[in-house]
Structure 1
Amino acid sequence: MTEQVPNGAPAPGMTQVRMQILAQYVRDMSFENAVAIKGVQATDVQPEMALAVNLDARKRPVENQYDVIIKLKVTASNKADKATLYILEVEYGGVFHIEGIPEEQLHPFLLIECPRQLFPFVRRIVSDVTRDGGFPSFNIEPIDFVGLYRNELARRAQAQQQQPTSVS
């Protein structure tokens, strides 16, 4: 005899995961328009884009609540002379209420699934700021947060292996 489980209900013996975004916010943002500072027309340049992504997650004092921050740095350089056109740095955060995640799965959940939920909003901010700064909108391609997480784990493991052991 098989047991029927209603749609959306957890299987027997499993807890249901609950994630709720309580707030989203821009923690810090700067846009340095080197073209405007130098007095060059933005139409005279061909931008070459570079994107750096960092993630951070922290437990809040309230039970089951976490801050997750996406830190983006967008640098546009002129293809011809490699001169910096603009630098956009934005830290975009969310406050999440999370329940039902086993402790050993919480870290990857915070650094993969939570940023996935925030990404469309920070992507829109980057697009709007670059356009409003006088440049073509920079639409960030979807980010592979699983790949970022795996790369960071590998980087940390390699750094730990390279640390010299001290003998006391």
Structure 2
Amino acid sequence: MAENGSAETGAEAAPADQPQVKMNILAQYIRDLSFENLLAQKGLGGEVQPEVTVQVNLDARKRSVENQYEVITKLTVNSKNKSGGEPLFLLELEYAGAFQIEGVKDEQLHPFLLIECPRMTFPFVRRVVSDVTRDGGFPPLNLETIDFLALYRNELSRRAQEQTAQA
């Protein structure tokens, strides 16, 4: 019985050391959306072979309420014709989520906000992009899954290189 008692004590001690992480999505919304169908505006003859580039930026802000944060995924989707480089469409989207986050240590909060929160809202971002491109007169664009951890690491290394270059 003593072994069971010590095992229980060990099991009870672990959760006290690490608070349980709680994340609730309070709201999701489009902050800004722009779609320009340049192909229709300028007219383009011949065969069109689209080449699509996607740029992703993330931003996180503390809200006025305790433990609440706004995380914004900013996408710029640019499509050009492969053969001549003529622009086909331009889509700019800022999609935000309001999150209630508890139990994350201060030193882990920044990566949590810029990795885990965008992972939660990404399926909705993907749907908006697909719907807008379809409604704009193009085949629906289904974005590949974004590796937010790699994106975060790349940004950290870019900032470190910038600081090294300035020093």
TM-score over 0.5 (shorter chain): yes
Cα RMSD for the two superposed structures: 1.7
* TM-score of the superposed pair, with normalisation by structure 1: 0.90
Pairing 1:61-100 to 2, within 5 Å after superposition: 61-100=64-103
Q: Which runs of 4+ in 1 moved over 4 A?
A: none
Counterpart of 1:112 in structure 2 is: 115
Among 24, 30, 33, the alignment partner of 2:34 is 30
- Partner Cα distance (1:85, 1:5) in 2: 59
Sequence identity percentage: 62
Consecutive unaligned residues in structure 1, runs of 5 or more:
none
For 2:16 and 2:44, locate their aligned partners in 1 and report how far apart those are by CA, in whole Å: 65
Amino acid of the structure 2 residue aligned with 1:38:
K
Structure 2: segments with no counterpart, 5+ residues: none
SS at structure 1 position matched to 2:18: coil
Query: Which amino acid is the alignment partner of residue 17 of structure 1?
Result: V
- Report the counterpart of residue 25 of structure 2 in structure 1: 21
- For residue 46 of structure 1, what is the aligned residue in structure 2? 49
1:138-149 alignment to 2 at 5 Å?
A: 138-149=141-152
Which has a greater percent of helix? 2
Question: 1:70: how far off?
Answer: 0.2
Which of the pair has more CA radius of gyration? 2
Instruction: Please give the residue correspondences for 1:149-164 in structure 2 after superposition, counting only pairs within 5 Å.
Output: 149-164=152-167
Count of matched residue positions in the alignment of Structure 1 and Structure 2: 160
Deviation at 1:27, TM superposition (A): 0.2
Offset of residue 5 of structure 1: 5.2
